[in-house]
Structure 1
Amino acid sequence: MSTGRIFQLKLDPLTGNSEWVVIDDEEDQGSQQQQPILATTSYLDMLNDSRRNRAFRQAIDKTITKPCHVLDIGAGTGLLSMMAARAMDPSNSTEYSTSEGVVTACESYLPMVKLMRKVLRINGMERKVRVINKRSDELEIGVDISKRADILVSEILDSELLGEGLIPTLQHAHDKLLVENPQTVPYRATTYGQLVESEYLWKLHDLHNNEAKASDEIHLVPTRKETILRAKSQHLAMHCDAIEDEIKLLSEPFKIFEFDFWRRPESRGETKLRIKAINDGTVHAVVSWWVLQLDCEGAIYYSTGPKWIRFPLNRDLTSSFPSSGDWCDHWKQCVYFVPGKGLSISKDEELPVHAIHADTSISYKFETEASRAEVELHDFAQDDHLILSLERVAIYGHNNWRCSILEAVEKALKNRVSPLCLVPDDSIFLTIAIANLCKTSHVISLFPGLREKGAKYLQAVASENGYSMDRIEVLDKRKKNLTMSDTHQKKVELLAGEPYYYGNDSMLPWQNLRFWKERTMLDPVLSKDALIMPCKGILKACAMSLPDLWRSRRCLQLIEGFDHSVVNATLGGCGNLPPPQESPCLPFFIWQCGENKGLSKIFSVMEFDFSKPISPCFGKAQVEFTEIGICHGFALWIDWVMDTNSSIVISAGPDQRYWKQGVKLLAEPVNVGIYGSSTGSVSAEIQASFNPSSGELDFNYVFT
C-alpha cells in the first residue's frame, strides 16, 4: 500500500536557489531506484554507534519489566521503540496483546516515519509499535494517545546536549504526556568542562588579534571595532581528540549542569564555579562534554568526553565506566570560546566561571573585571556587523592565505588604469583588497549571500582601509544577468572571487564552482581581455585509509537483534548497493575523521577552465599507491589557481584545516600495496565527470 510522497527542499549549488521537489516513496516506484535522500543526516552514524545502542538496550531491558505504556519521542528508525516492545514481551510473540502494554513512537520528520514503518514491518513489530507523525508537543491525550505514558524513552541530544530542544520537550512531556514520577531512559545527563589553551582554537574566533599579525594593510576588524566581524557561534562542536597534542590543559574537569529526565527541568539555570588552574597559561576556551546515566541505579553510562579523560569523574563508579569509545560523528565535544585574546591564568589561581543554560543552549561568563566588559561588548550586535563561520574567520586571519590573495590581486591589476572590477561572490576581503591596492579602481560586489549586510559593513570599515564608498558599489538587486547599464556602460576588466559563498561552508568543494556558472552569466559585461581570478580549478584526489569514518557509514544489518538492512539505500550506507543508492560523496574535515592516512600521491582528476563558459568536464587518472594499508575511500578537493602563470594556488586539501573535503567511501575496503609488494591492489583507475546543469560530480573507481 502506498504511503504517499515526500517533499524535500533541494538546493541548486550553482545558482544558490532552492526549490521543493517531490520524491516518490520507493513503494510507488517499482523498480526505479531512489537517491539516498537521508545520506547527509546523522542517522547512519548514530545507528552504527554500537556503544550507544548497547547502553540503551541494557537500560531499557532493566527499566521495562512489565507491560505498560511507553512513549518514544524522536523515534527515528524505531530502534528504542522496538527495544521497549521486546522488553515487555521477551518471547517476542506475534500475538502480543496491545491491551497489556503499548509503545507509542512519536516522530515529526515524515521521511523518517516512512523508513520507521519499513523497519517495524521487516522486524514484525508493526502491530506492537504505534507510530504518530507529529511533534511531541502536538500530541493530545484522548486524541493521539489514550492515556499518559508510564515510561519515556528518548534520544534527542546534540553535542551540546540541549540544542535539539531537550528542555522544552521534557517540560511538555511532564506537563501533558507522562504520569507523575515516570521512569525514563536516560535517567540523567551531566555536563562537564575543562579550561584549555589552544592556538588553533584561538584562531577560529579572534580575527582582530590574528589580523594584527598579518603583514598587510587590510583591516577587516579595525581597532575599536573589534566586534564588527565575528564568528557565527560562540561555540563549536568538533572532535577535540584531533588537536589533543595542541591543547594545554589548564584545569581538571569540572561538573557544570545536571539534567534529570525523570522530572520537569527549568528553562533557565545558572551555576557559579571557581576553577583552580593546574598550569600557567591563557584560557582560550572551555571544552565541554556530557555523560548520560541511562538507568536509575547508576550502572549504565555513555560519555561524549575526549579520549584524554581516562577515568570516571565519580570515583564511586566501577572501572568499567566508558570514558570514550569508538570514533563517531553524531556527537562530538563542544568548544566555548573566551572572547578576545583569552584570559591569562597562573597555576593554583582560581578563575570565577559563571555558567548559564537557556532552553536550547549553554553559555559562560568569566567573572573578572577585564573580561566582563569584553563579553558584554562581544554579545552586542549592530546592523553593520557581519557574522561569519568560525572557519571563515580563521581563513581571513591566516597570513599566508592573505598574502597569496593580495599577490594575485596585485598581478591582476598591474598596468591597468581605473579598472572596473567585479566580485561575484561574498568575498569582503577581495572587495576591500582591490579598493585598497588600486586607488583608481571601481569595484562592484554582488554579495549574493551577504547582500545589504555586506554593503553596510564595507561602509563601516572604509576609512580604516583607505577607500571611499564612491568607489565601491554593492548591487542590491538579484538578476539572472547583468547588463551594461548595471556597470555604467563600462566593461569589467577583473572578475575576482575566492570563491566563497555565505552559507556554503558545509557543502562539497565543487559546489563552489558556482563561481564558474556566474562567470558565464556575466560574460556579456566582461571585456575581451578581462582577467578571471581564479583562472581555473583543479580537482585533486588522494586514496585514503579512513577506518573510523568508514565504520560509521557502513551499511546496517542487525542492531541489538533488529534488522535494519531496509534503511541502507535511503541512508546511503557503504556496502554493495546498486547505484545511485550507493554511498554518495559527502563533505568532511578529514583531519577530524579519526584515524586517517594518505595511501597514494595526490593526483589531478580534471581541470575547470574559467576563461571559457561553463561546460561538461570529464577526467580520469591512474592511482599508484605509495603506502601499504587498507583503502576506505578517496578524498577530493579543488585547488584554485589564482593567476595565469599558475604560481599562486589556494589549496583546500586535507592538510588545510579550514576547508571540508569531499569523501567518496568505497563499498568495501580494499587491501592495497606498492609495486614489488605482495599486498593487494597496487593501482586504481579513477574516472569523474562534472555536470554543469546540476552541479553534480560523478566519481567512479576500479582497483587493479
Structure 2
Amino acid sequence: MYSLFTKILTAIYFLRRTHSPSTLTAIRTMSSASTQRIFQLKLNPLTGNSEWVVIEENDEQAFHQPLLATTSYLDMLNDSTRNTAFREAIDKTVTKPCHVLDIGAGTGLLSMMASRAMGGKGTVTACESYLPMVKLMKKVMRLNGMEGRIKVINKRSDELKIGLDLSLRADVLVSEILDSELLGEGLIPTLQHAHDNLLVENPLTVPYRATTYGQLVESTFLWQLHDLQNNEAGASDGIRLAPPGSESLLSVKRQQYAMHCDPMREELKTLSEPFKIFEFDFWKRPESYSKTELRIKATDDGRVHAVVSWWVLQLDREGTIYYSTAPRWISSPTITSPVDWCDHWKQCVWFVPGGGISTFRGEEICLHATHTDTSISYNLDTQMSTTDVLHHGLTTNGDFQLVLPPERVAIYGDKNWRLSMLKALKSVLQGRRHLLCVVADDSVFLPLLVAKLSEAPHVISSFPGLKERGFQYLQAAARANNLSPDCIKAVEKGVKQLTMHDTNEKQVDLLIAEPFYFGHDGMLPWQNLRFWKDRTTLDDILSEDAIIIPCKGILRACAIYLPDLWKSRCCLSKIEGFGHSGVNATLGACGHVAELEEGPCLPFFLWQCGEFDVLSETFDVMEFDFTKQICQCQGKSQVI
C-alpha cells in the first residue's frame, strides 16, 4: 500500500475520449459592453512558466475543447445516488410555485429539477460564477427546453442584489457547494450572505442539514505520511531533515486531507465508535466559528494516528432522504455508507502530530474540534507521556518551518528511497574533490546529502518553487546536521538564468534532481521531464565529464481494469430525466465517442481509483537520455 501511494502517480488514459489542453491552473474573466473574455492561465510543464490565454465569449471552438476535463463535474454528474437524492428532496420540498435560488448551479441540473417540480411555473434563478460552466449550462437548458424558464446569472452569489439581479427574495434555496471536508468551498459564508440578503425568513432548503462524523484510527500507513522525524531515524545516510529538537523544521500542513479510506481498510485499526462532531443547518444562518469538546471512549488498545471524518446530508426536513460520504465499513440505522465509489467526495484524514497518542481500551480521550468559515480542525488530549507531549506538537522551539505535502514527507521518510540515493551518489563521488554541484529542482534532501558525502563541497540550489523558503530551510537544516551552511548556496533565479558568474567561473561537475517541483505534485509522470529541459539549458556551464543524476528516464505502462473510475467518467445521457449528452466533449467523457477522437491522460494515484486489476505485463514505451540535450522522442510498444 505504501509503495503504491508514494511511487505510482499514474497517468490514466481513458480510451476513446476527447483531448485535454495543458494544465488549467486559474481562470478569471473581464467584461465589456460588447463582449466577455476569459483569461485562462496555462502552465508549461517543461519550463514551469505560466501565461494567460485570452478566449473570446463567442469562440465556440475554445469552449468545445475539454476545458473542464480535469475537474470533478463529470464524476459528480455520474453519481446516480447523489442525483436521485436531490431529485427526490426537491420534488418533496418544492410543491407549489415559488421563487427558487440555485447557488453554484453547474450544468443547471438542480434548477431544472426545481422548475419541473413547479410544472414550469414560479421562478428559478441559477447563479454560477464560472463562465465556462455558464455557457455549458445554457447549452444543457436549451437542449432540454428549459432556456426560457430559468434565469441564469454569471456572478458569485455574494454579488447578487435584490432589485437588480433578483426581483424578490427567494423562498427556496437549492445548492450543492460542498467539498470532502464540507466547508472548503465556502458553504458558511455563502449561506450567511444568502440568509442576510437573498432569502426570505425561514426559507425551505435542499439540503436541509449536514452533520460531520469522525472516528479515531491507528494506521502505520497514515503515520508515514506526516511523522518524518521518527520515520527517518534509522536512515543509513545520517541526514536528519527533521532533527531532534527541531522536529518542526519540516512538516505537513495542519489540515484535513481528502482520501479514499476504503482501500486502507486493512491498514487501519479503528480505536473508537463513530462520533458526531458538528451539525450545520442550511435553513438558518450558520455561525462562522464554533468549537466543541467530545469525550471519546477507546474501543481497543493502540496508538491514535489520525481522525478519519465524513459527513451525512439530510436533504429533506422530515429526515427520510440522506446522502453519506462515510467509508464502507460504517453501518448503522442513521449513518449509511455510499453505494458507489465516487471521486468528487472522499473521507478526510486529520493527522495526529508525531508518533500519535497511545490509548487503552475503555480510556477516555478528549477531542477538541473547531470549525472556521472554511475548515475543521482537531486537537486530542489524554494522559500522555513526556515523549507523547513532544510529538503531539504541544511544544515548539520557534524554528523556521517548511511545509511539504504528505506524499513528499512520506518519500523523505522512506529508507529504501534514501538508500538508493545514497548508493547512487557514493558511486559517483569517489575520488572527486572540490566538487561543484547544482541541484536543479526543489529537493531539500539532495543538497544536504551531497554536502555530507563530498570533500570541500560547493552546492548550488535553484529552488524554482520553494524559492526563499527552501534556502531558509537548508540553512537551518545544515546547522542541525553539523554541516557548514557556507557550503550550500541558493540562487534566487531560475535554472535558465544561471551563468558562470553564479558558479564563480567554475564549471558544474554534478547536476542532480529527484526530480521534485513544489506546487506541481499532481503532475503527469512525463511532466517531470522539466529536469531534462533544465539540463539542456545548463549545457554551457557543465563540465565535459559532468555527472547527471538521474541519467535516464523510462516511461512504462500497462493496461489496467478500472471499472469504478471508468464509470465515474463515462459519457452522460439522461440524468433524472434531463439530457446531458451535450457536455460530454467539454467534460472529457470516455466511451461512446467518435473513433478518431483521442483522449488525454489524467493523473491519479492508482490506489485511490477504486477497484482495479492489472491486465498486462509492464512494458517500456520510450527512454529519455538525460546525459544528452533534450530532443524529440517517440516510442511504440505492443501490449500483451
Normalised to the residue count of structure 2, the TM-score between the two structures is: 0.92
What amino acid maps onto 1:57 in structure 2?
Answer: R
Corresponding residue of 1:659: none
Among candidates 611, 620, 624, match of residue 604 of structure 1:
620
Offset of residue 476 of structure 1? 1.4
What amino acid maps onto 1:445 in structure 2?
Answer: S
CA 1:349–1:516: 2 relative to 1, 3 Å: same
Corresponding residue of 2:265: 244
Corresponding residue of 1:494: 510
CA 1:386–1:175: 2 relative to 1, 3 Å: same
- Contact preservation (8 Å) 2:357, 2:392: no
- 1:480 & 1:608 partners in 2: Cα distance? 20
What amino acid maps onto 1:362 in structure 2?
Answer: I
> Tell me, what secondary structure is at the counterpart of 2:248?
coil
Q: Does the alignment pair 1:234 with 2:255?
A: yes
Offset of residue 574 of structure 1? 0.2
Corresponding residue of 1:298: 319
- 1:306 & 1:288 partners in 2: Cα distance? 9
Offset of residue 509 of structure 1? 1.1
Q: Map of 1:249-268 to 2, 5 A cutoff?
A: 249-268=270-289
Offset of residue 497 of structure 1? 0.3
What amino acid maps onto 1:513 in structure 2?
Answer: L
CA 1:369–1:358: 2 relative to 1, 3 Å: farther
- Contact preservation (8 Å) 2:256, 2:376: no
> Tell me, what secondary structure is at the counterpart of 1:494?
strand
Among candidates 469, 479, 489, match of residue 463 of structure 1:
479
Corresponding residue of 1:630: none
- 1:391 & 1:616 partners in 2: Cα distance? 31
CA 1:437–1:334: 2 relative to 1, 3 Å: same
- 1:541 & 1:26 partners in 2: Cα distance? 40
- 1:378 & 1:561 partners in 2: Cα distance? 57
Corresponding residue of 2:207: 186
Corresponding residue of 2:632: 616
Q: Does the alignment pair 1:327 with 2:359?
A: no
- 2:588 & 2:262 partners in 1: Cα distance? 27
- 1:65 & 1:379 partners in 2: Cα distance? 58
Corresponding residue of 1:416: 432
- 1:522 & 1:7 partners in 2: Cα distance? 33
Q: Unaligned 5+ residue runs, structure 2? A: 1-33
Q: Map of 1:53-202 to 2, 5 A cutoff?
A: 53-89=83-119, 96=120, 100-202=121-223
- Contact preservation (8 Å) 1:233, 1:390: no
- 1:73 & 1:26 partners in 2: Cα distance? 25
Offset of residue 144 of structure 1? 0.7
What amino acid maps onto 2:135 in structure 1?
Answer: K
What amino acid maps onto 2:366 in structure 1?
Answer: P
- Contact preservation (8 Å) 1:34, 1:580: no
Q: Unaligned 5+ residue runs, structure 1? A: 90-95, 315-321, 625-704
Among candidates 345, 348, 356, match of residue 370 of structure 2:
356
> Tell me, what secondary structure is at the counterpart of 2:559?
strand
Offset of residue 24 of structure 1? 5.0
What amino acid maps onto 1:334 in structure 2?
Answer: C
> Tell me, what secondary structure is at the counterpart of 1:366?
strand
Offset of residue 583 of structure 1? 3.7
What amino acid maps onto 2:454 in structure 1?
Answer: C
- 2:479 & 2:60 partners in 1: Cα distance? 62
CA 1:603–1:260: 2 relative to 1, 3 Å: same
Q: Does the alignment pair 1:205 with 2:221?
A: no
> Tell me, what secondary structure is at the counterpart of 2:566?
helix
What amino acid maps onto 1:323 in structure 2?
Answer: S
- Contact preservation (8 Å) 1:35, 1:580: no
Offset of residue 612 of structure 1? 1.0
- 1:239 & 1:381 partners in 2: Cα distance? 34
- 1:224 & 1:134 partners in 2: Cα distance? 50
- Contact preservation (8 Å) 1:109, 1:133: yes
Among candidates 46, 66, 73, match of residue 14 of structure 1:
46
- 2:455 & 2:379 partners in 1: Cα distance? 44
- 2:254 & 2:364 partners in 1: Cα distance? 27
Corresponding residue of 1:42: 72
Normalised to the residue count of structure 1, the TM-score between the two structures is: 0.83
CA 1:421–1:432: 2 relative to 1, 3 Å: same
Corresponding residue of 2:350: 336
Offset of residue 313 of structure 1? 3.7
What amino acid maps onto 2:347 in structure 1?
Answer: Q
Offset of residue 215 of structure 1? 2.5
What amino acid maps onto 2:258 in structure 1?
Answer: A
1:151-187 CA distance string (max 9 Å, x none): 0000000000001010110011000000000000000
- 2:457 & 2:529 partners in 1: Cα distance? 26
Q: Does the alignment pair 1:312 with 2:344?
A: no
What stretches of structure 1 move > 6 A for 4+ residues in a row?
378-381
Corresponding residue of 1:595: 611
Offset of residue 463 of structure 1? 2.5
- 1:228 & 1:42 partners in 2: Cα distance? 35
> Tell me, what secondary structure is at the counterpart of 1:427?
coil
> Tell me, what secondary structure is at the counterpart of 2:353?
coil
Give the number of the structure with larger relative contact order, counting CA–CA contacts within 8 Å between residues 6 or more apart. 2
- Contact preservation (8 Å) 1:572, 1:581: no
Corresponding residue of 1:650: none
- 1:437 & 1:526 partners in 2: Cα distance? 21
Offset of residue 416 of structure 1? 1.1
1:642-699 CA distance string (max 9 Å, x none): xxxxxxxxxxxxxxxxxxxxxxxxxxxxxxxxxxxxxxxxxxxxxxxxxxxxxxxxxx
**What is the number of equivalent residue pairs in this alignment?**
604
> Tell me, what secondary structure is at the counterpart of 1:617?
coil
What amino acid maps onto 2:209 in structure 1?
Answer: R
CA 1:51–1:347: 2 relative to 1, 3 Å: same
Offset of residue 233 of structure 1? 4.2
CA 1:481–1:497: 2 relative to 1, 3 Å: same
- 1:283 & 1:560 partners in 2: Cα distance? 43
- Contact preservation (8 Å) 2:620, 2:637: yes
- 1:379 & 1:78 partners in 2: Cα distance? 49
- Contact preservation (8 Å) 1:422, 1:444: yes
Offset of residue 481 of structure 1? 3.4
CA 1:579–1:407: 2 relative to 1, 3 Å: farther
CA 1:38–1:452: 2 relative to 1, 3 Å: same
Among candidates 523, 537, 540, match of residue 524 of structure 1:
540
Offset of residue 221 of structure 1? 0.4
Q: Percent identity?
A: 66
- Contact preservation (8 Å) 1:42, 1:329: yes
> Tell me, what secondary structure is at the counterpart of 1:264?
coil
Corresponding residue of 1:446: 462
CA 1:494–1:247: 2 relative to 1, 3 Å: same
Offset of residue 327 of structure 1? 0.6
- Contact preservation (8 Å) 2:479, 2:485: no
What amino acid maps onto 1:219 in structure 2?
Answer: R
Offset of residue 413 of structure 1? 1.2
1:189-241 CA distance string (max 9 Å, x none): 00000000000000001001111132220010011111110013432100000
